[in-house]
């Protein structure tokens, strides 16, 4: 449908404007679109009237297309009276419409004042509708503005909470890092304390413990380390700081400096006159409620951390215990060695027979055990040589060894062969100490006889070197260990003993090695004996004993006592043996 209006006056233009508004309302154009259309058309009409002349306004309604497009109202404004295609429109507008078509003749508008007034009121109604819609939109905008404000407040509060949570998290991270750092430092202190304690307690030599301390403490925990032992005669008269003297007298740690140390359990004192510019930490080394000495330290930096000082106090306490244990062990070891050496008799001198003995105590543990050797004459002039080993170590084994030695000498007064003597020792030990056992070898030399009589009870076999340099072990079947719950009669064995022969009696500490057993050691002993010559043995048997002993000890761990007794028959039977040394340590 097409509508057209020709106008040149303001009244005609107003009638056309009213008609366009009515048609748009009839075609279902929304109030907002209709108001926008009328406002834009009014402005164009005003420009046309200002220019003057005749103008034509055309309105066409376009039905919906087959493609589903919405129906539209199309408006054009051209000058003149011709509405042909040759005249270009000066203004065009298009508005969407509903699908319904107008049913009234709204395109004709009367020129009377009533119609104009009605059109004016209709326009005011549209304006009122626009204002109502605008009010609703303003209310909606206000609602959304308030909602946005509340949202912003929530976002700000959330950001504040997130900031607070972030700050708290940072504080927790910092506290965790500090705790981890402190735990790592404490772990290092405890590890150092454990390692240092293990190193100090591993030694039973108090001098070695004192020498270990500087290497353990410098440079991490001390710049200098000095250990003052109260019983040290070598350095007993050296000047000592007053704080060290007070620590030794009172048994309390002292800190001497020009500022308080603030160390727990440590007394503050003025600076030392000997070292006025250097702080000194003097810690007593105590054990069993007595002070053994003082540990004197200077700090690695300006001062000690309190926790480091606590660790140093604990280390000094453990050092004092280690030194006390070492000194007590050394004292007991000296007593035991003196006791055992007192039990080792001087070897007798016999025409035609030379003796040389070596006894070496173990270097680990208490240096006293059950190894022993002995040589004495029987009433018939025979010479008895014996070497034995009581199981175990310590004073109990040494006492049992002494009793066996005394019992053997007593039994030998009545005579008897080596096997008979060992059998009697077996019964004696079994009844006297049922839980102790022993091994032994007894060899008998008769004057004027070139025969060796011997017997063994659970002991390594004797080694015999003949004058031609041949060396072999006397491995005839021995008896069982002495003292075991078994009735036995130990047999005698004999071997030729021409002049120039040498018999070696020994304990297992000489030949036995943990990783190899005893047989390779006996083989090495035979090699060492074969390296000797008859002139060497006739000339200096003591030196020959050293030549046998030295290669045997090169790979020894010295964790067991070592006994060696060489018995050499002179190549010239007229030679007389001179007194020999009892042993070498």
DSSP 268-325: EEPPPSSSTTS-EEEEEEEETTEEEEEEEEE-SSSS--HHHHHHHHHHHHHHHHHHHH
Q: Where are the domains of the chain?
A: 2-111, 206-333, 344-569
Structure tokens at 408: 């053997």
pLDDT at 234: 54
How far, in Å, CA of 584 to CA of 69, rounded? 127
How far apart, in whole angstroms, are the C-alpha atoms of residue 552 and residue 525?
A: 7
Distance of alpha carbon 361 from alpha carbon 130, whole angstroms = 122
209-263 confidence digits (pLDDT tens): 999 999 999 888 899 999 999 876 555 557 888 998 999 999 999 999 888 888 8
Whose tokens are 């309105």? That residue is 59
Please state the pTM of the whole predicted model.
0.54
Cβ neighbours for 23, distance < 8 A, ≥ 6 positions apart: 3, 59, 61, 73, 102, 106, 107
Q: What does the radius of gyration of the chain's CA atoms come to, in whole angstroms?
A: 61
How much of the chain exceeds pLDDT 70, in percent?
86
User: If you count DSSP H runs as helices and E runs as strands, how many of each does the chain have, helices first?
Assistant: 12, 19
More confident residue, 214 or 559: 214
- DSSP letter, residue 63: P
Spell out the residues 6+ positions from residue 204 whose beta carbon is closer than 8 angstroms to its own.
325, 326, 329, 330
Tell me what pLDDT residue 558 has: 65
Strand boundaries in 313-433, DSSP class E: 353-360, 369-377, 383-393
Superfamily of domain 206-333: GAF domain (3.30.450.40)
Distance, in Å, from the CA atom of 548 to the CA atom of 542, rounded to the nearest integer, reads: 10
Tell me the average pLDDT across 137-165: 89
471-473 and 463-465: which strand pairing?
antiparallel
- pLDDT grade, residue 527 (50/70/90)? very high
C-alpha–C-alpha distance, residues 457 and 478, integer Å: 6
Query: For residue 564, what pLDDT band results from cuts at 50, 70 and 90?
Result: very high
CATH of 344-569, one of 3.40.50.360, 3.40.50.410, 3.40.640.10, 3.60.40.10: 3.60.40.10
**Has residue 553 got a pLDDT over 70?**
yes
Q: Is the dihedral of CA 363, 368, 371, 374 positive or negative?
A: positive
Residue % of the chain over a pLDDT of 90: 31
Confidence class of residue 411 from pLDDT cuts 50, 70 and 90? very high
Task: Tell me the range of 118-122, 486-490, 512-516 where mean pLDDT is highest.
Answer: 486-490
Mean pLDDT of 195-207: 88
pLDDT band, residue 554 (cuts 50/70/90): confident
Token pair 């070592």 in the structure block, residue: 562
| 573 has pLDDT over 50 | no
């Amino acid at each position: 449908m097409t509508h057209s209006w020709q106008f040149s006056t303001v009244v005609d233009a107003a009638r056309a404007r009213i008609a366009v508004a009515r048609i748009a309302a009839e075609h279902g154009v929304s109030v907002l679109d209709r108001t926008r259309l009328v406002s834009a058309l009014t402005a164009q009409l005003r420009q046309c009237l200002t220019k003057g002349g005749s103008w034509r306004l055309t309105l066409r309604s376009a039905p919906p297309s087959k493609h589903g497009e919405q129906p539209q109202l199309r408006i054009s404004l051209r000058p003149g009276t011709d509405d042909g295609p040759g005249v270009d429109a000066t203004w065009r507008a298009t508005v969407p419409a509903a699908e319904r078509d107008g049913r009234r003749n709204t395109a004709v508008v009367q020129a009377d004042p009533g119609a104009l007034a009605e059109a004016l009121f209709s326009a005011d109604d549209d304006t009122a509708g626009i204002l109502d819609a605008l009010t609703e939109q303003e209310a909606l905008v206000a609602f959304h503005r308030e909602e946005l404000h509340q949202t912003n407040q929530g976002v700000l509060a959330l950001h504040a909470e997130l900031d607070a949570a972030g700050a708290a998290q940072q504080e927790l991270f910092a506290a965790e890092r500090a705790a981890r750092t402190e735990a790592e430092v404490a772990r290092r202190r405890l590890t150092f304390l454990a390692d240092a304690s293990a190193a100090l307690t591993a030694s039973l030599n108090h001098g070695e413990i004192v020498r270990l301390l500087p290497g353990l403490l410098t440079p991490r925990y001390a710049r200098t380390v000095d250990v003052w032992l109260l019983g040290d005669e070598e350095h007993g008269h050296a000047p000592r700081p007053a704080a060290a003297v007070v620590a030794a007298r009172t048994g309390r740690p002292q800190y001497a400096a020009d500022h308080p140390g603030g160390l727990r359990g440590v007394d503050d004192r003025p600076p030392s006159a000997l070292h006025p510019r250097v702080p000194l930490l003097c810690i007593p080394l105590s054990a069993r409620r007595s002070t053994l000495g003082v540990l004197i330290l200077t700090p690695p930096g300006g001062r000690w951390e309190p926790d480091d000082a606590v660790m140093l106090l604990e280390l000094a306490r453990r050092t004092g215990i280690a030194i006390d244990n070492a000194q007590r062990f050394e004292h007991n070891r000296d007593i035991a060695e003196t006791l055992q050496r007192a039990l080792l008799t001087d070897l007798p001198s016999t025409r035609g027979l030379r003796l040389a003995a070596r006894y070496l105590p173990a270097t680990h543990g208490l240096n006293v055990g059950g190894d022993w050797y002995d040589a004495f004459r029987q009433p018939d002039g025979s010479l008895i040589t014996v070497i034995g080993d009581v199981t175990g170590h310590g004073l109990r084994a040494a006492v049992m060894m002494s009793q066996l030695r005394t019992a053997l000498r007593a039994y030998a007064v009545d005579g008897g062969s080596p096997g008979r003597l060992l059998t009697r020792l077996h019964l004696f030990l079994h009844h006297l100490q049922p839980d102790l056992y022993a091994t032994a070898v007894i060899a008998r030399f008769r004057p004027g006889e070139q025969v060796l009589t011997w017997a063994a009870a659970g002991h390594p076999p004797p080694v015999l070197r003949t004058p031609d340099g041949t060396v072999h072990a006397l491995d005839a079947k021995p008896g069982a260990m002495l003292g075991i719950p078994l009735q036995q009669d130990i047999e005698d064995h004999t071997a030729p003993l021409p002049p120039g022969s040498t018999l070696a009696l020994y304990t297992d500490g000489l030949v036995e090695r943990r990783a190899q057993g005893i047989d390779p050691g006996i083989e090495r002993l035979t090699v060492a004996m074969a390296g000797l010559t008859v002139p060497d043995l006739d000339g200096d048997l003591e030196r020959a004993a050293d030549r046998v002993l030295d290669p045997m000890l090169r790979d020894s761990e010295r964790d067991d006592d070592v006994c060696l007794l060489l018995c050499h028959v002179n190549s010239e039977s007229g030679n007389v043996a001179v007194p020999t040394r009892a042993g070498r340590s």
